[in-house]
Structure 1
Amino acid sequence: MKKILLLLANGFEAVEASVFTDVLGWNKWEGDGTTEVITVGLHKQLQCTWNFQVSPEKLLNEIALEDFDALAIPGGFEEAGFYKDAFSEEFQQVIRHFNENKKPIATICVASLALGNCGILQNKKATTYSHPTSKRLAQLQSFGASIINERIVQTDHIITSSNPGTAFDVAFSLLEMLTTTENTQKVKDLMGFK
């Protein structure tokens, strides 16, 4: 069984988290059965970007990072306090662990800024929220990343993406890294994706 750590910062976007639980959950029941997602946060109660709260299954201090095979991080909004958690030392230590062990790391939208902030995107191809009105690409570049203007950028074991609209594709890319292309196609077909 491949265990995926879904790391939730306060102020995360629920839809960006739910694609990981859905795609990897469909795989658990309808695909090859090898993926299990555990939601983890720094607080017992997390406020989503919009109007509801969630309770992660585990707190960060209750888990052993060695037990996990991949890391998934949804993005969120500064106004909702996302970067307070995402740029915290506890959060950064998790990212460094997965990077040092070359385990898959999948991020959606601005979650890639957490990777940049802890230094693992130095001279690596990456992207983040890329709308022309946004300062986020420049911020990612300031962390040393080589900006690639594509919807999704995969460099080695790291996936970054440019907006919430990429969420399902990122989750499927992670599934493919953890299983096979054939299995991923089967799950996509069952979920109604081409």
Structure 2
Amino acid sequence: MQDISGKRVAILATHGFEQSELEVPLERLRGAGAEVHVISLEAGEIKGWDKKDWGRPVKVDRTLDEASPEDYDALVLPGGQINPDLLRVEQKALDFIKAFWTADKVVGAICHAPWLLVETGIAKGRRLTSYHSIKTDVINAGGLWEDSQVVTDQGLVTSRNPGDLDVFCKKLSEEIREGRHERRAA
């Protein structure tokens, strides 16, 4: 992992996030020196999904109403089937994600989280990967889907599944260290 001391990262999630897809990036990014906040729709705690059943709760650091994309250098979107499906119908969440992208900041999405990239229009014309069950959704949204562990495209970092988190976190820290990514039109 690259040293990203002094960088600030938001992890946007709600109930039903895949446990490892929030906890591993949170731990690794903090270990690399970043200040990381869990952002959610409501204050308190959000409960994860751990493979086949409900997992552990994670403390919410800020609500969407309290968080501003301007305060962060990067955004991480954990997957799980439930979490991105609940977030993609929340306009505040979609606006939050789009604000990172339009400001040329790093956006990382894991497993099912590229659904949020589809919903915000970010996927269109971009190289990315995702969990195989949403491949068609990504392609139908104009995404250039690849069957790879991790795909990076001008500050957009995506990964297939929880088994790819080591590579995902390494690439994410590299992109965060590089800073803003001026994006060519897709």
Shorter-chain TM-score tier: 0.7 to 0.9
Contact 1:76 1:82 in 2 (8 A): yes
Q: Which runs of 5+ in 2 are unaligned?
A: 1-5, 179-186
SS at match of 2:75: strand
TM-score, length-scaled by structure 2: 0.84
Of 12, 16, 23, the residue aligned with 1:18 is 23
Q: If the length of structure 1 is used for normalisation, what is the TM-score?
A: 0.81
Q: Structure 1: which 5+ residue stretches go unaligned?
A: 29-34, 181-194
Letter matched to residue 84 of structure 1: L
* SS of corresponding position for 2:38: strand
SS of residue paired to 1:106? strand
**Rg larger for:** 1
Q: Which has the higher helix share?
A: 1
Give the match's secondary structure for 1:110.
Answer: coil
> Which residue of the partner structure matches residue 46 of structure 2?
46
Distance 1:104 1:55, change over 3 A: same
Could you give the per-residue CA deviations for residues 81-114 of structure 1, whole angstroms, max 9, x where no partner exists? Answer: 5412244211111111011011000111111111
Aligned residues: 168
**Greater fraction strand:** 2
Tell me how far apart the structure 1 counterparts of residues 15 and 87 of structure 2 sit (CA, whole Å): 6
Q: Which residue of 1 aligns with 2:140?
A: 142
Q: 1:87 to 1:164 in 2, by over 3 A?
A: farther
Q: Is the 8 A contact 2:19 2:56 kept in 1?
A: no
Give the letter aligned to residue 165 of structure 1: G
2:65 corresponds in structure 1 to 61
- Which of 6, 9, 22 lines up with 2:14 in the alignment? 9
Rounded Cα–Cα distance in structure 2 between residues aligned with 1:139 and 1:9: 21
